[in-house]
Structure 1
Amino acid sequence: MPKAIWNGAVIADARDDEVEIVENNVYFPIDKVNRSYLQDSTHSTVCPWKGTASYYSVVVDGKVNENAAWYYRQPSEKAQQIRDHVAFWRGVDVQR
């Protein structure tokens, strides 16, 4: 079962058939992510084929991992499978 863990907390936990793997990143359905660990960020980036990514910072026990999670509010037509999904990086341990 895929999980995303940071600072000892399980941020996301899903079954294999619930996640999407895109460019070797695990995208968790938003309803499988513990939103209490997410803090909105103003950071964004643009992917040529997925669209504009928005970010969350991950906050656990007062420690902040800036912009460690991203999602596509309105993914392109080619990336619709990751709508309402969140991926992690920057030290978040994503186990597959």
Structure 2
Amino acid sequence: MESVWDYPRPPRLEPVSQQLEVIFNGKTVARTTHGYRVLETSHPPVYYFPPADVDLTTLASAEGRSWCEFKGLALYWAVEVDGKTADKAAWCYPNPTEPYSAISGFYAFYASRVDQCKVGGELVRAQPGDFYGGWITSDIVGPFKGIPGSRHW
């Protein structure tokens, strides 16, 4: 078991060899065994997919940007499959800061905005509150930041 309270701050970036998968409207839009995860105190891991392992035809630029104090500027993407759209379901850091340069142009997905996300074949649960986009698996324990009342922990 991994406790999110044992994760570091600033966050740690590490490679993931387990298969990661995102499914939307019956289509696999991303699948990789060459992903990364970002581990930050109090947050479930956020998984990043290399662009070569994402069906880029399913992504469309979405409005909005955000700023991470560690990784920099994030851009958002809608996922569109056969007429169904999930707005701002994915994001990427086109030019992250140096400690996170390995995920430059990689895509992360909100588990709550697509139909399924999997790590090693296990269906994940979305991080409560949806702000951080973490994926919860059976080997990750909290409490997790994002639940009501936790924004300023």
SS of equivalent to 1:80: helix
SS of equivalent to 1:20: strand
Q: Report whether the alignment pairs 1:19 with 2:32.
A: no
Distance between the aligned counterparts of 2:71 and 2:113, measured in 1? Answer: 23
TM-score (norm 2): 0.59
Compute the displacement of 1:42 (Å).
Answer: 2.6
RCO higher in structure (CA 8 A, sep ≥6)? 1
% identical equivalent positions: 32
Deviations 1:3-58 (A, max 9, x none): 1111211010111xx10011301100001000111001131111110101001100
Structure 2, unpaired ranges of 5+ = 1-18, 40-44, 120-153
Larger Rg: 2
TM-score (norm 1): 0.91
- 2:117 corresponding residue in structure 1: 94
Distance between the aligned counterparts of 1:43 and 1:31, measured in 2? Answer: 24
Structure whose residues are more often helix by fraction: 1
Distance between the aligned counterparts of 2:64 and 2:107, measured in 1? Answer: 15
SS of equivalent to 2:99: helix
- Of 50, 53, 60 in structure 1, the residue corresponding to residue 81 of structure 2 is 60
Q: Deviating runs (4+, > 4 A) in structure 1?
A: none
CA RMSD, Structure 1 to Structure 2 (Å): 1.1
